[in-house]
Amino acid sequence: MESTPQAQIVYQRPRSLASTPTSYCPGCTHGVAHRLVAEVLDEMELRERTIGVAPVGCSVFAYKFFDFDFVEAAHGRAPAMATGIKRLLPDRVVFTYQGDGDLASIGMAEIMHAAGRGENITVIFINNAIFGMTGGQMAPTTLPGQKTTSSPTGRDVEQMGYPLHMSEILSTLDGAGYVVRRSLHDPKNIRMAKKAIRLAFETQVRGLGFSMVELLSTCSTNWGMTPLDSLRWLEERMIPVYPIQDFKVVQALAELRL
Amino acid sequence: MPREFLEGNHAMAEAAIRAGVQAYFGYPITPQTELLEHFSQRMPELGRVFLQAESEVAAINMVYGAACTGARVMSSSSSPGVSLMMEGLSYIAGTEVPVVLIDVVRGGPGLGNIAPSQGDYNQIVHGGGHGDYHPIVLAPSTVQEAIDLTVLAFDLAEKYRAIVIVMADGNIGQIMEPAELPPMRPLRTEYPDWAVRGTSGRERRFLTSIYIDPVDEEVTNFRLMQTWNQIQANEVRYKEYFMDDAEIVVVGYGTAGRVALSAVRSARLEGIKAGLFRPVSLSPYPYAQLEALVGGARAFLVTEMSAGQMLDDVLKAVKGRVPVEYYGRMGGMVPFPDEILAEIQRISREPLTVTFDPRQGWMKRFAPIVEAEKSRN
């Protein structure tokens, strides 16, 4: 007896993502990061009580792509704005989505003190080693020797200093509950990134302190590479400088079985 | 409520608490730190939010986020700290969320000092942050008025979804005098239909100051100006003293206005027909009310604890029809009543002419005082 083939949905837009055409460049990993956040919020059934804080940079329009409440911060100030919201609404889930210029350059004070206070917020940190929105200038995370429009002969560490390793720095603070680095360059790492994002939101829901997932990401347009070459460059050049690692996982999380 | 002996900073903090402020974010800076300290004790015991931020930059952005939830929120600071808040204030203005800020002004520019000043007038009243926006600015001259204006500030901020700044000075913040606090208002339980509090049971909302399409930004700017027009029409506040038959109109606000009142009283005892016009709302400025005094006035005397910043607004109202004279102290110096009385006496006996910039004559008259200050050591 023949069985009737049944249509089965295996892939669809998460409820937490809005039906908005992307404004990100081909090859950019912002879309992957957005989707992972949305999938996690759907799985944890948090959409209706989540408030996002968008940064200044390419993801300034993050609020268009997520289908829940959002605010748009000044450059670097997202952790302060998130603090204001979380303190008023402690039972809501509040997260910031910030790039490397926003978080590691102009927003250094705000991110350090949010982590230091153990502010019970989640930070999604996109590290693509460059300022994307303004057209490819040097970021604090730009690699030594990396050419950008403001380091045209390559980042000379004698003149321009060294890359900042934000996950390593923030993980030293007592207020941090969960600080890890992941990458978005291949399916395995994307799955690992999703699990980390889940744990970051679990950190917040359980009141275990500041949580951050650093996501190594690509910027094909400003790196001047094809999307495929960008993924290779991330793997070969960025990961040696920014190792994929758990830097801080509080005991209660380490014991968590999902 | 009974009258109590209250310090200005404590009184303003307690007034905000009784007006139902739900969250305070701030950073220590003299001469307003008592505000921060008062909130640090009272807010937790009332189950409300207090947080000492890492900087004024962070404080105003915490206020920005908290305001987006529709709650009553505020910060306070003094001049250098308020300079740091200008970025956040512009974003708050562009997002149209209500926020109250108290600026206890001190001597400047730069680090300056911690003495009373009015040197922030232009920054607070005529802008500060980038872009087209106008805050409402209220200037108290007594502790009682500081209490009353702090309460009013929250109501106006919410009525117009605007920034309201109580511009006090180091003197108002630090002085102690009898005053009456208002009764405690209940905290709000309902929130406006723009508040970002989670999308449960409704469409998503977002609050932003970004309008990437200039057409949308122009529409927003026009709306801000329409709101500002309403504010100008409805929220002008000022006080007049001895103005019925005044021929010499003294104009001063805050502590300078209070000192000027003593000088005007002394002038009246000498038979000089002087009166005081004291703007309470510096923004919107009482241009029309000041202009209405031009017909009966022989001259105006503007007095400030700054180098003639409000003077420009008086000149704008008077439009060159009668002489306007200026007398100010700067850098944290507060005028004595006798200094202003001497100016009133001079104006009452000297023939005056309309000049383009009254500061020039003032600087000539004032130079000997500065020379004496330079040689005091």
Residues B185 and B223 in one domain: yes
pLDDT tens-digit map of B54-80: 999 999 999 999 999 999 999 999 999
A121 touches chain B (CB under 8 A): no
Query: Contact B206/A73, CB-based, under 8 Å?
Result: no
A83 touches chain B (CB under 8 A): yes
Cβ atoms of A176 and A212 within 8 Å: the answer is yes
Mean pLDDT of A45-73: 96
Residues B222 and B246 in one domain: no
A139 touches chain B (CB under 8 A): no
Mean pLDDT of B36-41: 98
- Chain A residues whose beta carbon lies within 8 Å of the beta carbon of residue B57: 77, 80, 109-110
Domain CATH for B278 = 3.40.50.920
Give the angle B129-B130-B134 at the CA atoms, nearest 5°.
65
Q: How far is CA A243 from CA A59, A225, A246, B117, in A?
A: 24, 22, 9, 54
- Chain A residues whose beta carbon lies within 8 Å of the beta carbon of residue B208: 54, 63, 70-72
Whether B322 has a pLDDT exceeding 70, the answer reads yes
Would you tell me how many other CB atoms lie within 10 Å of the CB of residue A104?
Answer: 23
Whether A2 has a pLDDT exceeding 70, the answer reads no
What is the spatial distance between Cα A101 and Cα B153, in angstroms, rounded to a whole number?
Answer: 37
Taking one residue from A and the other from B, the number of pairs with CB-CB distance under 8 angstroms is 129
Looking at the complex, report in whole angstroms how far the Cα of residue A228 sits from the nearest Cα belonging to chain B: 31
Final residue in a domain of this structure, among B207, B234, B261 = B234
Query: Contact B198/A89, CB-based, under 8 Å?
Result: yes
The amino acid at residue B52 is: Q
State the SS3 of chain B.
Answer: CCEEEEEHHHHHHHHHHHCCCCEEEECCCCCCHHHHHHHHHHHHHCCCEEEECCCHHHHHHHHHHHHHCCCCEEEEECHHHHHHHHHHHHHHHHHCCCEEEEEEEECCCCCCCCCECCCCHHHHHCCCCCCCCCCEEECCCCHHHHHHHHHHHHHHHHHHCCEEEEEEEHHHHHCEEEEECCCCCCCCCCCCCCCCCCCCCCCCCEECCCCCCHHHHHHHHHHHHHHHHHHHHHCCCEEEECCCCCCEEEECCHHHHHHHHHHHHHHHHCCCCEEEEEECEEECCCHHHHHCCCCCCCEEEEEECCCCCCHHHHHHHHCCCCCEEEEECCCCCCCCHHHHHHHHHHHHHCCCCCCCCHHHHHHHHHHHHHHHHHCCC
Two tokens, residue B89:
């204030």
What is the spatial distance between Cα B187 and Cα A213, in angstroms, rounded to a whole number?
Answer: 37
- Chain A residues whose beta carbon lies within 8 Å of the beta carbon of residue B206: 63, 69-72
DSSP letter at B308? S
What is the spatial distance between Cα B68 and Cα B141, in angstroms, rounded to a whole number?
Answer: 32
**A residues 21..60 contacting B (CB < 8 A):** 47-51, 53-54, 60
Cβ atoms of A78 and A54 within 8 Å: the answer is yes
Q: If residue A50 lies in a helix (H) or strand (E), which one and from where to where? A: strand A50-54
Whether B377 has a pLDDT exceeding 70, the answer reads no
Residue of A nearest to B54 (CA): A113
pLDDT tens-digit map of A52-61: 999 999 999 9
Can you tell me the ipTM of this complex? Answer: 0.95
Torsion sign over Cα B126, B130, B135, B138: negative
Final residue in a domain of this structure, among B218, B234, B250 = B234
Query: Contact B200/A49, CB-based, under 8 Å?
Result: yes
pTM across the whole model = 0.96
**pLDDT confidence of residue B376:** 85
Q: Over pLDDT 70: what percentage of chain B?
A: 100
Residues B203 and B98 in one domain: yes
Query: Contact A83/B65, CB-based, under 8 Å?
Result: yes
Residues B166 and B180 in one domain: yes
**pLDDT confidence of residue A5:** 73
* Residue of A69, A83, A113 with shortest CB distance to B206: A69
Q: Which of A138-147, A249-258, B236-245, B307-316 has the lowest mean pLDDT?
A: A249-258
Residues B198 and B343 in one domain: no
Query: Contact A109/B51, CB-based, under 8 Å?
Result: no
pLDDT tens-digit map of B212-224: 999 999 999 999 9
- Chain B residues whose beta carbon lies within 8 Å of the beta carbon of residue A97: none
The amino acid at residue B191 is: Y
Residues B245 and B214 in one domain: no
Quickly tell me which residue has 């009966």 as its tokens: B296
Domain locations along chain A: 30-254
Query: In terms of residue numbers, what domain contains B47?
Result: 3-234
- Chain A residues whose beta carbon lies within 8 Å of the beta carbon of residue B212: 61
* Residue of B49, B61, B212 with shortest CB distance to A81: B61
**pLDDT confidence of residue B325:** 98
Residues B44 and B165 in one domain: yes
**pLDDT confidence of residue A1:** 58
Looking at the complex, report in whole angstroms how far the Cα of residue B328 sits from the nearest Cα belonging to chain A: 38
pLDDT tens-digit map of B220-268: 999 999 999 999 999 999 999 999 999 999 999 999 999 999 999 999 9
* Residue of A61, A66, A69 with shortest CB distance to B196: A69
Two tokens, residue A122:
């989640």
Residue A154 CB contacts under 8 Å (≥ 6 apart), including other chains: A144, A145, A146, A147
Which band of pLDDT confidence, cut at 50, 70 and 90, is reported for residue B351?
Answer: very high
Cβ atoms of B136 and B165 within 8 Å: the answer is yes
Q: Which of A9-13, A81-85, B167-171 has the lowest mean pLDDT?
A: A9-13
Give the angle B89-B95-B100 at the CA atoms, nearest 5°.
45
Residues B176 and B267 in one domain: no
The amino acid at residue A24 is: Y
Number of structural domains in chain B: 2
Query: Contact A48/B200, CB-based, under 8 Å?
Result: yes
Mean pLDDT of B305-325: 98
Residues B202 and B217 in one domain: yes
Residues B117 and B176 in one domain: yes
Which band of pLDDT confidence, cut at 50, 70 and 90, is reported for residue B128?
Answer: confident
Final residue in a domain of this structure, among B172, B203, B234 = B234
The CATH T-level fold of domain A30-254 is Rossmann fold (3.40.50)
Residues B258 and B210 in one domain: no
Torsion sign over Cα A109, A115, A116, A117: positive
